């Protein structure tokens, strides 16, 4: 699947780059969430290289009819919404009710005058109800086009939001490794991070939160005594949760290394370089940028089999799906850490999800709407 997608996508890139004259079109990303996620900034840069002007709409969610007002000011050809829930999830209960009413009206006004595109990064907020918020479903339902990051995600969006698959375009999640410094040798990375030099390391990274199944991992590690260090790094949701994890980590006889603090891009590159595999235990999820990143770094991935919507370029000998934390999982873990990180092994994967590829497919979809 990767080879076919890569060839098709690279063909699109060649077509666009071969055109000396390109008709400029304008898209607006809303809301501007660059401070919370690098996806928009990386996609915008690649789109601009193909002649698309990208604007970012203000993240000031307390304004009335923010989308209409921003569209009136800048007049984009396409409004491209990411994470629509940010327009109605902030403030007090009363403010949220008003925001929900305003957002529904706002969306209707905007859609009357321009094309609407939505990227389905997720369907529900992390750790919250499994039921899709009606306003999120309404956003997908009203959109002229919805971008999904995998074929299975497309099926899930169809099923849970009740929209036709004809309005869903599959475009891969871009390569987040492009944002990080080059990866160094494992021994150098471990020395800089003060990690054990001779042990196998399984890495859990990103925001440390209950929805990621980390407590279950720690409990399993304490019970099983696997002989593999579990390294957990990232900014925690709060001190109470951090303390719960610390208590579990302290029972591990030093098998668990917990570093609950914000990780810079430089340090994240070091952790990826130092690890032998990356491990994820989300109970529910539509897309995982972190898993895509670990895959790009050449790390073997252990990922839940109940989350088929996350595209990791399978089948792959470096992606291990598990059904539960048990003896079978332990065997998969040992196989993964024995493979260890191999940057060259992910060359085809990185090529297939280059931002040039993602941007070319996005432009093609934009132009199909405008024509």
Give 257's strand partners: 231
Q: Tokens representing 106?
A: 């706002």
Indicate the SS3 state at residue 50.
coil
Q: Are residues 118 and 11 in the same domain?
A: yes
Q: Are residues 231 and 301 in the same domain?
A: yes
Expressed as residue numbers, the domain containing 69 is 2-174+354-370
Q: Tokens representing 240?
A: 């109470």
Q: Which residue has the tokens 């993240």?
A: 59
- Looking at the structure of the chain, the number of domains it has is 2
Q: Are residues 299 and 362 in the same domain?
A: no
State pTM to two decimals. Answer: 0.89
Residue 50, domain CATH: 3.40.50.2000
Q: Are residues 193 and 258 in the same domain?
A: yes
C-alpha–C-alpha distance, residues 254 and 192, integer Å: 19
Cβ contact 56:83 at 8 Å: no
- pLDDT per residue as tens, the chain (371 positions): 445 555 555 555 555 444 434 557 999 999 999 988 999 999 999 999 999 999 999 878 778 899 999 999 989 999 999 999 999 988 888 888 999 999 999 999 999 999 999 999 999 876 555 789 999 999 999 999 999 999 999 999 999 999 999 999 999 999 999 899 999 999 999 999 999 998 999 999 999 999 899 999 999 999 998 999 999 999 999 999 999 999 999 876 779 999 999 999 999 999 999 999 999 999 999 999 999 999 999 999 999 999 999 999 999 999 999 999 999 999 999 999 999 999 999 999 999 999 999 999 999 999 999 98
Q: Are residues 10 and 119 in the same domain?
A: yes
Q: Which residue has the tokens 């992390």?
A: 126
Query: CB count, 10 Å around CB of 111?
Result: 16
Q: Are residues 157 and 220 in the same domain?
A: no
C-alpha–C-alpha distance, residues 297 and 317, integer Å: 15
Q: Which residue has the tokens 């050449």?
A: 298
The per-residue DSSP string of 118-162 comes to EE-S-SS-TTS-SSPPHHHHHHHHH-SEEEESSHHHHHHHHHHH-
Q: Are residues 155 and 18 in the same domain?
A: yes
């Amino acid at each position: 699947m990767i080879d076919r997608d890569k060839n098709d996508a690279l063909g699109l890139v060649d077509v666009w780059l071969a055109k000396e004259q390109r008709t400029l079109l304008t898209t607006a990303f809303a809301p501007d969430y660059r401070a919370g996620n690098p996806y928009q900034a990386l996609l915008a840069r690649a789109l601009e290289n193909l002649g698309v002007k990208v604007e970012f709409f203000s993240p000031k969610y307390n304004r009335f009819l923010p989308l209409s007002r921003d569209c009136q000011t800048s007049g984009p050809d396409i409004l491209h919404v990411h994470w629509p829930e940010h327009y109605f999830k902030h403030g007090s209960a009363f403010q949220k009710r008003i925001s929900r009413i305003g957002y529904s009206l706002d969306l209707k006004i905007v859609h009357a005058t321009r094309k609407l595109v939505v990227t389905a990064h997720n369907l529900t907020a992390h750790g919250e109800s499994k039921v899709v918020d009606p306003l999120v479903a309404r956003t997908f339902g009203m959109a002229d086009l919805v971008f999904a990051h995998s074929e299975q995600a497309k099926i899930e969006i169809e099923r849970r939001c009740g929209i036709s698959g004809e309005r869903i375009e599959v475009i891969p999640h871009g390569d987040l490794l492009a944002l990080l410094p080059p990866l160094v040798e494992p021994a150098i990375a471990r020395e800089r991070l003060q990690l054990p030099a001779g042990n196998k390391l399984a890495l859990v990274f990103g925001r440390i939160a209950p929805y990621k199944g980390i407590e279950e991992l720690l409990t399993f590690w304490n019970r099983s005594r696997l002989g593999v260090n579990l390294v957990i790094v990232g900014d925690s949701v709060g001190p109470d949760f951090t303390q719960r994890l610390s208590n579990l980590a302290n029972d591990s006889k030093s098998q668990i290394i917990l570093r609950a603090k914000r990780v810079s891009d430089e340090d994240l590159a070091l952790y990826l370089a130092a690890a032998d595999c990356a491990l994820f235990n989300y109970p529910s999820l539509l897309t995982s940028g972190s898993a895509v990143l670990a895959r790009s770094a050449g790390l073997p991935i252990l990922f839940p089999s109940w989350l088929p919507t996350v595209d990791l370029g399978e089948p792959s000998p470096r992606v291990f799906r598990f059904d539960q934390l048990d003896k079978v999982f332990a065997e998969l873990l040992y196989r993964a850490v024995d493979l260890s990180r191999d940057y060259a092994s992910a060359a085809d994967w990185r090529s297939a999800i280059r931002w040039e590829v993602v941007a070319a497919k996005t432009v093609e979809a934009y132009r199909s709407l405008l024509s």
